[in-house]
Amino acid sequence: MSTELPPQPDYASKRTPQPQQKELGELGAPQVVFDTVAGPNLRLRDNLIQLVCVIVAIMLTSVIMLIITREPAMSIGVGVVGGALGGVLISGAALGIYRFVKGVSRK
């Protein structure tokens, strides 16, 4: 005599399908909010890219202003302010486009 159990019904297939959760990435839910709304960026690579862009923009703007005005004090002052602002805006736009393209290619 065999003591086999009767087949068990498959209740899992009758459940309503759960929506798949998107990957939150390596930094988790806070970074998703920071990326979509506002807030600090916790990615080291992004921050280093922005730092390099700002430094290069400051140097370029200072040199261009020195060539135009021939006054070192004013060219450095304008170079630092204008270069920092321009570098942040350009690197932020570049990182935004990069993240958008990377996000679209995952789907």
Residue 38: strand, helix, or coil = coil
pLDDT at 103: 78
Tokens representing 84 are 């920092």
* pTM score: 0.61
Over residues 30-52, the mean pLDDT reads 75
60-64, 79-83, 99-103: the lowest-pLDDT one? 99-103
What is the Cα–Cα distance from 82 to 84, expressed in whole angstroms?
Answer: 6
Q: Where are the alpha helices (DSSP H) in the chain?
A: 29-36, 44-69, 72-106
CB-CB contact of 54 with 86 (8 Å): no
Spell out the domain ranges in the chain: 43-101
Residue 94 near residue 45 (C-beta atoms within 8 A): no
pLDDT on residue 15: 55
